[in-house]
A and B are shown apart, each in its own frame.
Chain A
Amino acid sequence: MKIPYYPGCTLHERALDFDMASRECANALGVELEELPVWTCCGAVFPLTTDSVMDILAGVRNLAYASRMGDKVVTLCSFCYNVLKRSNKVIREDEEKREKANLFLKADTDERAEMESYLEQDYVGQVEVLHYIEMLRDVVGFDKVAKSLKTSLKGLRVAPYYGCMLLRPKKEMEFDDPERPTIFEDFLETLGCDVVDFPMKAECCGGFQIVRDEETAIACSQTVLSSAIKRDADLIITTCPLCLYNLDRKQKEMAKRVKGFTKIPVIYFTQLLGIALGIDEEHLDFSDNYVDPRPVLAGKKLV
């Protein structure tokens, strides 16, 4: 089965490990992630202005590309998912913006001769934006995932971290209860892990504040980490490259600031899935992690 795939900029640059692990896992589950032949940055932040259509065009353009390939598009980064899903909702529900956006898309087409026919029909929101975890649950099925597992993760205490963008705003994302989400718990149970439920699982990691106000961002991240550490988590999983950056890379600063700070590995959820599916470690690539997860995994005889 082939599913259109929108990697987004980060998975093409910094988070190559996430991209690779996710493709490998999909293959092992009989799904081919078919990257859109042409795509651009989604814009990374969904605009708060409501009177302009320009700000959502980047997202809509990518969705229009996807509509040529199928009725779904899968993505991984929380920011991409947030922007694509919300832009899609605007196109589905706001007639005026839909019309305007399509006029822009048509103008585009004329400029790009090679893409000439990419919009044979208007883009009206016909594509379903799926997060990879939704693909696992709804397209592949957690039961099939369970049947494909090669390695038992029993005894590994994993804390699922959601962050903000995947879940909020609730009415637009329609993904899970933003205050008490459970989809990653269900996923981890499928993998046979011991799920560590921790109260900070849907709190903010500091996000983009890391470039403007490092103190605040690090304080946020540290609250998240210590909450999981306190509940004896072995590692944390996430689906957002920015969350991973704040939670993993910034442990260096935290260690400097806080006496006796214990480090905890933070990895992408598909890297963990890869281990359970018996995928070769080098295809999961843990080399980029600041806190190396391999000692913890080796302790449980998983690598």
Chain B
Amino acid sequence: MEHRIGVFVCHCGTNIAGVVDVKRVAEELAKYPGVAYSTDYLYMCSDPGQNLVKDAIKEHGLTGVVVSACSPTLHEATFRRAGAAADLNQYRVEMANIREHCSWVHRGDKEMATEKAIKIIKTMIEKVKQNEALEPISVPMTHRAMVVGAGIAGIQAALDIANAGHDVVLVEKEPSVGGHMAQLSETFPTLDCSQCILTPKMVEVSQHPRIKLLTYCEIDDVSGYVGNFKVRIKKKAAYVNRDVCNGCGLCIEKCPAKTASEFDEGLSERKAIYTPFAQAVPNQPVLDRDHCIYFESGKCGVCQKVCPVDAIDYEQKDEFLDEEVGAIIVATGFDLYPIVNIGEYGGGDIKDVVTSLQFERLLSASGPTGGVVRRPSDGEIPKEVVFLTCVGSRDPEGHMPYCSKVCCMYLTKHAMLYKHNEHDGQAYVFYMDVRTPGKDYEEFYQRAAEEDDVLYIRGKVSKLFEEDGKVMVWGVDTLTGQKVEIAADMVVLGLAMVPSATATELAKMLKIQMNQWGFYSEAHPKLRPVESLAPGFYLAGAAQGPKDIPEVVAQASAAASKVCALFAEKEYHREPIVAWIDEDECAGCRICISVCPYDAIEFDDEKEVARVQEAICEGCGARIAACPSATAQQRNLTDDQLYMMVSAALED
């Protein structure tokens, strides 16, 4: 076949053209064998730019296109669509990345950058010359989604998908849905009560006909691929038969064993058989065997005796359920940075130094003090309360380098709510910067400072220690340059947000990426903020990075709409860039079966050859490298193509 390749060199504004001599590149490549047309343009991805490509295909009868611009992760899909619109098979359109791989890294050396750009484009011309015209592979799809984590993010995503008409499996590891929002008192910037806006949604997920709610469950294993995941779920033994328990609560009332309540952040006690809080959904208890007298000594058994419906089952075992879903949203939320790591603030040993979540419980009407702020040491109402921002955040030397984004706002809320309770009390906030980037947020902060007389001091606190029943605060006011010493009754730490404890483990199981701190990574920081790079996985909430409720909810709805868009097609269309095998050449050695990470290769016992299941193959290339007889090849990335590409790159 005669090759008629078109080369389209993009300036990307000055991103590329500022470093690479784009005109020269286009001119040089016009002379390259097989190139029928070569040009440059300011923004190739814009409408006129795409039209340039489409028109050239038709006008010059192009058999292949190389768009020399940015990374294929950004615009490959754009230009493939443009090619297809001009009746060129989309797999005969390739990107040559002369931005990330060239202009961005070679600023200041125009000559070298230009030479390199030419080489990069030549390799892609060689590739495209041998690209086959392919069609996407269609595979059947399960129109059912899974959401992992039932905080506000997971709840919102599940409701949106279910309301759009698809079934949802919602998996939560705790005994109740709600996540951290259920612990909050009132919420900035409007101060509406967290429970009042959350509990109706909690009830809705539990009663929605399209939502299967699995609390006290964890993901045990995931296999398959987008459109066709198989998920094994561990239903942890609750020692309560959930089919018969009516939630009467008698067992909880009579249980004699107590331990610290997780929900109240250790500020109150719960029983060994318990629901985390009164409004828990589902309202059925679980038995915590680590604190149960029966499990420790074989004595007690009170709950079994009092249960009117015989729901208690000490012999219950973990169960496993298998669910099939087409897409998975990960919404596993956050934890607070451990207080033990902050030695200068007592590492958790000073009673009246509390975490921000503990303070939420003290402010909450359903909390251990009924909403009156009392200090943990002696139950007195504190008169001087100091709030510290950026505890563990923005501290690249010692702790986390990033900003946790919500602490400035919730500490302002804390100080304000405290002042609403105790008019003659004094609230101080030590801050590095007060960050209020949200609608009505700055006004909220102004109100705290001006109307509620919260005293903001710009500076860090170097040390907290106990002295005569007070918490001594050693700080500095960097605006006046003075040392500040406060004998406080109570101190509240705005601890950094970190990914929840199981996030890393889960990411490994799902094979999705995280950043270095363990927050799940989005496919593109601006343009694909709710998708993971791994197809079929979507992200919502604080698991992706610190954020507040409005942002969490927006992101959850966005993730849900992505899932619905996926489900809009009957079948799932996959990239055909997969492995294939020449059955006549295959020696049947089975080596490729052992290297394939996706179990995508089956063995034909009759013919004694390996065969690729195109619907599963991810095109990772592992088996192609492993095949000793070189019969395994990747579509549009054959050995021949690679050879020609390398030759083009090495040519003088």
- Tell me if B343 counts as interface (CB < 8 A to partner A): yes
Expressed in whole angstroms, the minimum distance between the Cβ of B350 and any Cβ of chain A is 9
Decide if B466 touches A199 in the complex (CB within 8 Å). Answer: yes
B390-427 to A contact mask, C-beta < 8 Å, 1/0:
00000001100000000000000000000000000000
Please provide the chain B residues from 8 to 24 with a CB less than 8 Å away from any CB of chain A in the complex.
none
Of A171, A178, A179, most B-chain CB atoms within 10 Å: A179
Does B467 make an interface contact (CB < 8 A)? yes
Q: Of residues 452 to 510 in B, which have CB atoms within 8 Å of A's CB atoms? A: 463, 465-467, 472
Flag if A199 contacts B465 (CB, 8 Å).
yes
**B343 adjacent to A180 (CB under 8 Å):** yes
A179 & B467 in contact (Cβ 8 Å cutoff): no
How far is A282 from B70 in the complex, measured between Cα atoms in Å?
Answer: 80
Of residues 176 to 203 in A, which have CB atoms within 8 Å of B's CB atoms? 177-180, 199-200, 203
* Cross-chain contact A178 with B343 (CB below 8 angstroms): yes
Max chain B CB contacts within 10 Å: which of A171, A177, A199, A230?
Answer: A199
Query: Contact between B465 and A179 (Cβ–Cβ < 8 Å)?
Result: no
Whole-angstrom distance between the alpha carbons of A170 and B341 in the complex?
Answer: 13
* Min C-beta distance of A216 to chain B, whole Å: 13
Closest Cβ neighbor of A198 among chain B residues: B465
List residues of chain A with CB within 8 A of the CB of B465: 199-200
With a cutoff of 8 Å between Cβ atoms, the chain B residues found around residue A179 in the complex are 342-344, 347, 463
Given the complex, which residues of A lie within 8 Å of B472, measured CB to CB?
199
Instruction: Give CA–CA (A190, B53) in the complex, Å.
Output: 80
Contacts of B342 in A (CB 8 A): 179
Can you list, as one digit per residue, whether each of A28-65 has a CB less than 8 Å from chain B (1) or not (0)?
Answer: 00000000000000000000000000000000000000
Q: Count residues on chain A whose CB falls below 8 Å from chain B CBs.
A: 10
Cβ–Cβ < 8 Å partners of A178 in chain B? 343
Chain B residues with CB below 8 A from A203, complex form: 463
Residues of A within 8 A of B349 (CB): 180
Complex interface residues of chain A between 195 and 242 (CB less than 8 A to chain B):
199-200, 203, 230
Question: What 1/0 mask marks residues of chain A from 146 to 185 whose CB sits below 8 Å from any chain B CB?
Answer: 0000000000000000000000001100000111100000
Instruction: Please give me the residue from chain A that is nearest to B397 by CB atom.
Output: A171
Closest A residue to B348 by CB, please name it.
A180
Chain A residues near B347 (CB-CB < 8 A): 177, 179-180
Q: What is the CA–CA distance of A177 and B343 in the complex, to the nearest angstrom?
A: 7
Looking at the assembled complex, report how far the CB atom of B255 sits from the nearest CB atom of chain A, in whole angstroms: 36
Cα distance A273–B33 when bound, in Å?
Answer: 86
Chain B residues whose CB sits within 8 angstroms of the CB of A170 once the complex forms: 398
A303 to B467, CA, bound (A): 33
Contacts of A200 in B (CB 8 A): 465
| B344 nearest in chain A by CB position | A179
Residues from chain A with a CB closer than 8 A to the CB of B466 are: 199
Cα-based distance from A230 to B467 in the complex (angstroms): 9
Least CB distance from B25 to A in Å reads 40
A200 to B465, CA, bound (A): 9
Contacts of A171 in B (CB 8 A): 397
CB distance from B430 to the nearest CB of A (A): 17
Chain B residue nearest to A179 (CB atoms) is B343
Residue of B nearest to A178 (CB): B343
Q: From residue 341 to 358 of chain B, which have CB atoms closer than 8 A to chain A?
A: 342-344, 346-347, 349
Q: Which of B343, B347, B397 has the most CB of A within 10 A?
A: B343
Q: Tell me, rounded to whole Å, the shortest Cβ–Cβ distance linking A161 to chain B.
A: 15
Q: Give the CA-CA distance A71 to B342 in the complex, in Å.
A: 34
Question: How distant is the Cα of A203 from the Cα of B344 in the complex, in angstroms?
Answer: 11
- Chain A contacts of B343 at CB under 8 A? 177-180
Please report the C-alpha to C-alpha distance between residue A15 and residue B472 in the assembled complex, in whole angstroms.
35
Chain B positions within 8 Å of A180 at CB level = 343, 346-347, 349
CB nearest to B350 among chain A residues: A199
Task: Give bound CA distance, A176 to B346, whole Å.
Answer: 15
Q: Give complex CA distance A179, B398 in Å.
A: 12
Closest to B465 in A: A199
Bound CA–CA A203/B472 (angstroms): 14
Residues of B with C-beta under 8 A to A230: 467
Contacts of B344 in A (CB 8 A): 179
Closest to B343 in A: A179
Closest residue of chain B to A171, judged by CB? B397
Distance between Cα atoms of A179 and B342 in the complex (Å): 8
Distance (whole angstroms) from the CB of B116 to the closest CB of chain A:
30
A177 to B342, CA, bound (A): 10
Closest to B345 in A: A179
Nearest CB on B from A294, distance (A): 31
A179 to B345, CA, bound (A): 8
CB B345 to nearest CB in A, in angstroms, measures 8
Tell me the bound Cα distance from A177 to B463 in angstroms. 14
* Residue in chain A with minimal CB distance to B398: A170
Expressed in whole angstroms, the Cα–Cα distance for A200 and B466 within the complex equals: 11
Contact with A along B319-345 (1 / 0, CB 8 A): 000000000000000000000001110
B265-282 near A? 1/0 per residue, CB < 8 Å: 000000000000000000
Which of chain B's residues have a CB closer than 8 A to the CB of A199? 463, 465-467, 472
Per the bound structure, the CA–CA distance linking A200 and B347 in Å amounts to 15
What CA separation (Å) do A199 and B398 show in the bound complex? 20
Alpha-carbon distance A262/B467, docked complex (angstroms) = 19
Nearest CB in chain B to that of A170: its residue? B398
CA distance A172 to B373 in the complex (A): 42
16 contacts between A and B (CB under 8 A): A170-B398, A178-B343, A179-B342, A179-B343, A179-B344, A179-B347, A179-B463, A180-B346, A180-B347, A180-B349, A199-B463, A199-B465, A199-B466, A199-B467, A200-B465, A203-B463
Q: A170-B398, A199-B463 are in contact. List 12 more A-B contacts (CB 8 A).
A: A171-B397, A177-B347, A179-B342, A179-B344, A179-B347, A180-B347, A199-B466, A199-B467, A199-B472, A200-B465, A203-B463, A230-B467
Q: Sorted from nearest, which 8 A-B pairs have the closest CB atoms?
A: A179-B343, A199-B465, A180-B343, A179-B344, A177-B343, A180-B347, A199-B466, A178-B343
- Residues of B with Cβ closer than 8 Å to A? 342-344, 346-347, 349, 397-398, 463, 465-467, 472
User: Residues of A at under 8 Å CB distance from B?
Assistant: 170-171, 177-180, 199-200, 203, 230
